[in-house]
Structure 1
Amino acid sequence: MTAAANSHGLTFRQDYFGDPPAWAALVALLEDTFGIDVSIQDRFGGPDPTSMPFGYFDESGVSAANFSGFSMPMMVDGRLVKAAGFQSGAVRPQWRGQGLYRDLMNRAFGWCDEQGFELGILLTDKPAMYEPYGFRVLPQQRFLGAPPPAETRLAGTVRELSLDNAGDITLIRRVLRERTPVSSVFAATAQAEMFLLNGFFDPDVRLTYLDQFEAVIAWKEDETSFQLLDIAGKTILPLSAILGSFDRRPDRVEVFFPPDRLDWQGTQETFESDISLMVRGSAAGLSGPVMLSPMAEF
């Protein structure tokens, strides 16, 4: 335990998601800090079982500070990479400036190295905080262009899914377990928890099931563009098949992941955001333009 934690009567805990009061304390910390309620995960099957939280708690069980790692296998340049993501970093105001966050980061990054993760990934609006730990910003590119000629609408059911429907949640989780990475260049291979959370927190995201392909398509649209966020399925459909199944004829397509498996090639455009994607580790030398699907953000 750090001297700062000891002076405040805090107790260090690790791997505590199996303790409901401790999990509830972390939920409260994240809601108070970021205004998000991650307890919705209980509806979706609970928190990621690979998560390894590191935290400090006061004597009444309040979560004073936390920083978590989790397994996030990635496809990178055609190779399956053992990667770890880092999230849920927060310190309550009364305990800031005491070195707690730095201590928890060191513990989490040390755990990552001990477990043999080749790649560390995080999203942050404070990239300078993580550069001393070997992280670098990875610029992201989205892909824009004219749509391909849409195929004739294919046979099979096209059905909108709802995250208020338990049966639909079960279906999405099954499809995600069996999915092929949406890109061979840069893509998450699992992460059902974040897919569901991102779909829940963004009301503009639409989830559509194509039963002929056993695929879930995450997408948005406006007056002129079709925005493809992710595809979860055993095979990755060509963009023309997706547009044909949806009976869409947009003026423009925007794809938010490398489109190498879509049989379509758009023009790269730098994705501008206040949130930076950062990576560290031996597998951080990526060769192609990348973007982390918005459905895999954490």
Structure 2
Amino acid sequence: MTAATGSHGLTFRQDYFADPADWAALVALLQDTFGIDVSIQDRFGGPDPTSVPFAYFDEDGTCAANFSTFSMPMMIDGRLVKAAGFQSGAVRPQWQGRGLYRDLMNRALNWGDDQGFELGILLTDKPAMYEPYGFKILPQQRFLGAPPPLEVKLADTSRELSVDNAGDVALIRQVLRERVPVSSVFAVAAQAEMFLLNSVFDPDIKLTYLDPFEAVIAWKSDDASFQLLDIAGKAIPAFAQVLAALDQKPDHVEVCFPPDKLDWQGLPELLDSDVSLMVRGEAAVRLSGPVMLSPLAEF
């Protein structure tokens, strides 16, 4: 804990989540900046234990600026890649224009390089800000098509889950610890905190447990369409088995991750979004499309 040169009297802190007051100060910064409440993570056991925040605090304990990194192992083209996500970048208005964000970003990126991460990932609506640091946009494509031929629904093989139910949360966390990547082309290999947090942030997401596969299905639907967001489980069921278990008979379907394990093929379509997926590092040069990061893994 030291006051950095040029930090205008602010105190630099790194890896500070063990202090509840400091964690609360970051929660306040992100609430004030983005209107999101990450204190919801306290319901699920606290922030990601792999997360390493870099921040400046004022003398009153207010978090003036922050930039964080966390471990996010990825399966890419059949190979497990040591990857890091970068998130929670924010500076309070009164401290902007003083180089704090650039300083914290450099600290986080250098720390990640020293740890040997092959890939860095972030999501942003300001991609030009990160290009000077070696990040490039990785276009995302969702997969659209007709549903697979439907199978006969098996009785009592599924049940709905709720992130407001402690027992269901415990089950989801166990499944996430034991999951296999939903895709061999491009998918997270281990990450639980964002799955749960995204399930809270978007109340339209439905979570259903499929007992035969010990898998949690994240999905949405309306009268004619079905959207498969993610599958976390010891095994990945075929798409037809998912639809049968959920008793869904859509006219068309959308898959929000590469569907190589689903026994189904869809047509890739460029994702229209204000937020860009950006990557840097040795593994980034080997990435090729079409890919999409599951909405349950967004951060």
Which bin holds the TM-score, normalised by the shorter protein? over 0.9
Q: Distance in 2 between matches of 1:288 and 1:11?
A: 43
Q: Secondary structure of the equivalent of 2:48?
A: coil
Residue 204 (structure 2) aligns with:
204
Q: Distance in 2 between matches of 1:90 and 1:128?
A: 16
Aligned ranges 1:27-176 → 2 under 5 Å: 27-176=27-176
Residue 232 (structure 2) aligns with:
232
Deviation of the 1:154 alpha carbon: 2.1
Q: Is the aligned partner of 1:11 residue 2:17?
A: no
Q: Is the aligned partner of 1:294 residue 2:295?
A: yes
Q: Secondary structure of the equivalent of 1:16?
A: coil
Does the 8 Å contact 2:4/2:10 carry over to 1? no
Q: Secondary structure of the equivalent of 1:143?
A: strand
Q: Secondary structure of the equivalent of 1:283?
A: helix
Which segments of 5 or more consecutive residues in structure 1 lack a partner in the other structure?
Answer: none
Q: Distance in 2 between matches of 1:247 and 1:168?
A: 21
Deviation of the 1:189 alpha carbon: 1.0
Q: Distance in 2 between matches of 1:141 and 1:157?
A: 31
Does the 8 Å contact 1:158/1:209 carry over to 2? yes
Deviation of the 1:48 alpha carbon: 0.2
Deviation of the 1:155 alpha carbon: 4.3
Deviation of the 1:4 alpha carbon: 3.2
Does the 8 Å contact 2:4/2:11 carry over to 1? no
Q: Secondary structure of the equivalent of 2:69?
A: strand
Deviation of the 1:288 alpha carbon: 3.2
Aligned ranges 1:260-271 → 2 under 5 Å: 260-271=260-271
**Matched letter for residue 6 of structure 2:** A
Q: Distance in 1 between matches of 2:191 and 2:273?
A: 22
Q: Distance in 1 between matches of 2:117 and 2:5?
A: 29
Does the 8 Å contact 1:155/1:212 carry over to 2? no
Q: Secondary structure of the equivalent of 1:253?
A: strand
What TM-score do the two structures reach when normalised by structure 2? 0.98
Q: Secondary structure of the equivalent of 1:240?
A: helix
In the TM superposition, what whole-angstrom CA distance separates every residue of 1:135-163 from its partner, at most 9, and x where no partner exists? 00000000000000111112443111011
Does the 8 Å contact 2:4/2:12 carry over to 1? no
Does the 8 Å contact 1:83/1:119 carry over to 2? yes
Q: Secondary structure of the equivalent of 1:4?
A: coil
In the TM superposition, what whole-angstrom CA distance separates every residue of 1:159-206 from its partner, at most 9, and x where no partner exists? 110111000000000000000100000000111100000000001000
Does the 8 Å contact 1:215/1:231 carry over to 2? yes
**Matched letter for residue 109 of structure 2:** F
What TM-score do the two structures reach when normalised by structure 1? 0.98
Deviation of the 1:92 alpha carbon: 0.2
Q: Distance in 2 between matches of 1:28 and 1:288?
A: 37
Which segments of 5 or more consecutive residues in structure 2 lack a partner in the other structure?
Answer: none
Q: Distance in 2 between matches of 1:2 and 1:61?
A: 16
Identity %: 77
Q: Distance in 2 between matches of 1:281 and 1:130?
A: 13
Q: Secondary structure of the equivalent of 2:282?
A: coil
Q: Distance in 2 between matches of 1:69 and 1:31?
A: 18
RMSD: 0.8
Q: Secondary structure of the equivalent of 2:283?
A: coil
Deviation of the 1:242 alpha carbon: 0.4
Matched pairs, number: 296
**Matched letter for residue 13 of structure 2:** R
Q: Distance in 1 between matches of 2:288 and 2:54?
A: 33
Does the 8 Å contact 2:173/2:192 carry over to 1? yes
Deviation of the 1:2 alpha carbon: 4.7
Q: Distance in 1 between matches of 2:192 and 2:257?
A: 17
Does the 8 Å contact 1:77/1:287 carry over to 2? no
**Matched letter for residue 289 of structure 2:** G
**Matched letter for residue 67 of structure 1:** F
Q: Distance in 1 between matches of 2:77 and 2:289?
A: 8
**Matched letter for residue 286 of structure 1:** L
In the TM superposition, what whole-angstrom CA distance separates every residue of 1:123-142 from its partner, at most 9, and x where no partner exists? 00000000000000000000
Does the 8 Å contact 1:156/1:210 carry over to 2? no
